[in-house]
């Protein structure tokens, strides 16, 4: 069994590239993907880029339960890992669950008046 705290510590961008790669490699053995959806304290943004890489490697089937969190990641494209998540979401557009979660997040973004998030979500509808 892999210790999630150890993995997150390794994936911190303040560590060496070798340690970060080791963290990403160990993360492949973690089944609970929600742990990689923009984790907060004590890890924070310093692990987000590597968390995005971990999620991007997973199968479509594995990511169904993460769609909502991945779409929320697009609220700010300056957040670490946002472009990695955007590209992975583009390949998920054809799965049945995608449209439901996309619509939910778009409604939320509009209700909040979050123009940046709306614009970022609309990038998913553009042809690649």
Q: Locate the domains of the chain by residue range.
A: 4-125
Query: Cβ atoms within 10 A of the Cβ of 73, count?
Result: 26
Q: Pick the closest to residue 31 from 72, 59, 68 (CA basis).
A: 59
Q: What is the mean pLDDT of each run of 10 residues along the chain (128 residues)?
A: 92 98 97 95 96 98 97 98 98 94 98 98 85
> What per-residue confidence (pLDDT) applies to 1?
75
> What per-residue confidence (pLDDT) applies to 87?
97
């Amino acid at each position: 069994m892999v210790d999630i705290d150890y993995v997150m510590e390794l994936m911190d961008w303040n560590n060496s590239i070798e340690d970060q790669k080791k963290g990403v490699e160990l993360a492949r053995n973690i089944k609970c993907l929600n742990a990689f959806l923009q984790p907060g304290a004590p890890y924070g943004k310093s692990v987000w880029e590597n968390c995005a890489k971990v999620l991007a490697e997973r199968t479509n089937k594995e990511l169904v339960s993460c769609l909502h969190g991945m779409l929320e990641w697009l609220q700010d494209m300056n957040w670490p890992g946002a472009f990695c998540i955007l590209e992975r979401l583009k390949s998920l557009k054809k799965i049945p669950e995608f449209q439901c979660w996309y619509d939910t997040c778009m409604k939320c973004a509009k209700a909040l008046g979050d123009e940046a998030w709306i614009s970022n979500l609309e990038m998913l509808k553009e042809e690649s």
